[in-house]
Structure 1
């Protein structure tokens, strides 16, 4: 097998357990071993950058983030790449979500460079989850009037309707957006032709690493392109069937039992 020179991992449902924790001591030791082996480590998430900084604050050696499903790549506080949504497209999507009863979510948010904007009348399914994932919330009367760099629109729907809404949005705004399930009944709507595979590839190329030399972990729909694209695509055993079906490897243990860390140990031991 090609030598792995870079590891990228999704966060929720993958690296974090269901209590949104990870083994700090074990992971810190792995980071030191990865550095000694010249293997780069990056986070690849649909979340915004500020949230990711908070999640990985206990392990400050983590300094590379493919955030917003590939729309923003930051390495040691230096922006390497960004692909925001065109403002007019973001506003058109918001208008559709607000006025079309077949698309109307329980809640939606605009993830911007200077804040996460949420409508005053938004009714998130889980307020605690919103406050956890979006720590830079800015309440607005009309999201269509937001003037900021917008990386994504995120919405919440009943789990049973998520794929239907994804299909509707991608059809209605063909070649203008890319809508993808992001777990927990959420959909991320980002710039067209943008996904984690694109972001991880951009990052790898900046380091002189080929995609075949990348290992990536994920569990949900917004990880599928990344898992399928890299040299070693690793799906969590607790992941969706769509992700597991394109993976090269499925973790023996789930996100609640250090599934990612176990496979990283195997990579370091050259046993995968």
Structure 2
């Protein structure tokens, strides 16, 4: 019996315009509550962004943010893991030295997302607020994620996966392609599956077998592999489509998650 639903956000819950169908989600949440099924958001996005995004859905109160580096439940931090300050500066230098220099580098902190300045803000595709600074090494904050981004499709997902592997081989970190030209460089041991275990291992002796997980990109890999039912979005990347137990019939622009949840849990 499935007791939890864990969903990615970008490319999964949000459509291509970065919009959430909150009305339909709230209807599903009310019915799931009657079945004692909890909905967990598991995303590479910052907690600040997720809290704002899901504000219209008060029944969602558990967020695995920044791919598991910061977990917040009912407004309380239940787990966090940050980079050491000295390592942040090393990682900034390392990503700037990659074969293709990123257009922008973000640092995800507690209250802010910091970024290097970019020349063309119109090219910025993400609905998050950035504090642009001239020198990221001077940022004084807890840093959960070093996030280089390549805009305008100048590098392929496979190239970014290769860059991520280089980072893993050189530093004590976990790095992954997270979609939309992004790479996340996270503290070692951080991923969405590990985040789920932090939340539910104490009351689920089968670990993640009671979880239905949805995702579309490489940073969802462990979560989909370890969940009782790993569901790839119809629009997912090829590596995720290959490993999933199931693929949604509809993509993220057509409520793919909600339609699949209705089918799995027999919602009206």
Normalising by structure 2, we get a TM-score of 0.91
Quick one: structure 1 residues 108 and 124, their matched pair in 2 at CA, closer, same or farther if it must change by over 3 Å? farther
| Superposed CA offset, 1:52-84 (max 9, x none) | 111112212211100001111101101111111
Aligned with 1:61 (options 54, 59, 62):
59
Residue 30 of structure 1 corresponds to which residue in structure 2? 28
Aligned with 1:232 (options 208, 229, 232):
229
- Is 2:176 aligned against 1:176? no
Residue 191 of structure 2 corresponds to which residue in structure 1? 195
- Cα pair 2:212 2:229 within 8 Å, conserved: yes
Residue 268 of structure 1 corresponds to which residue in structure 2? 265
Aligned with 1:89 (options 76, 87, 90):
87
Aligned with 1:149 (options 133, 137, 142):
142
- Is 2:181 aligned against 1:185? yes
| Distance in 2 of aligned mates of 1:189 and 1:253 | 31
- Cα pair 1:107 1:125 within 8 Å, conserved: no
Deviation at 1:86, TM superposition (A): 2.1
| Superposed CA offset, 1:127-166 (max 9, x none) | 4424x12x2x223221112221101011112453443344
| Distance in 1 of aligned mates of 2:191 and 2:120 | 25
- Cα pair 2:44 2:66 within 8 Å, conserved: yes
- Is 2:175 aligned against 1:163? no
Residue 107 of structure 2 corresponds to which residue in structure 1? 110
| Distance in 2 of aligned mates of 1:48 and 1:198 | 17
Q: Give the CA RMSD over aligned residues.
A: 2.0
Deviation at 1:225, TM superposition (A): 1.2
| Distance in 1 of aligned mates of 2:202 and 2:142 | 24
| Distance in 1 of aligned mates of 2:124 and 2:100 | 24
- Cα pair 1:112 1:148 within 8 Å, conserved: yes
| Distance in 2 of aligned mates of 1:184 and 1:168 | 15
- Cα pair 1:10 1:223 within 8 Å, conserved: yes
Structure 2: which 5+ residue stretches go unaligned? none
- 1:211-230 alignment runs, 5 A limit: 211-230=208-227
| Distance in 1 of aligned mates of 2:13 and 2:38 | 16
- Cα pair 1:108 1:122 within 8 Å, conserved: no
Residue 122 of structure 1 aligns to a residue in which SS?
A: coil
Quick one: structure 1 residues 227 and 114, their matched pair in 2 at CA, closer, same or farther if it must change by over 3 Å? same
| Distance in 1 of aligned mates of 2:46 and 2:141 | 14
Normalising by structure 1, we get a TM-score of 0.89
Residue 6 of structure 1 corresponds to which residue in structure 2? 4
Quick one: structure 1 residues 39 and 86, their matched pair in 2 at CA, closer, same or farther if it must change by over 3 Å? same
Residue 245 of structure 1 aligns to a residue in which SS?
A: helix
Deviation at 1:193, TM superposition (A): 2.4
Structure 1: which 5+ residue stretches go unaligned? none
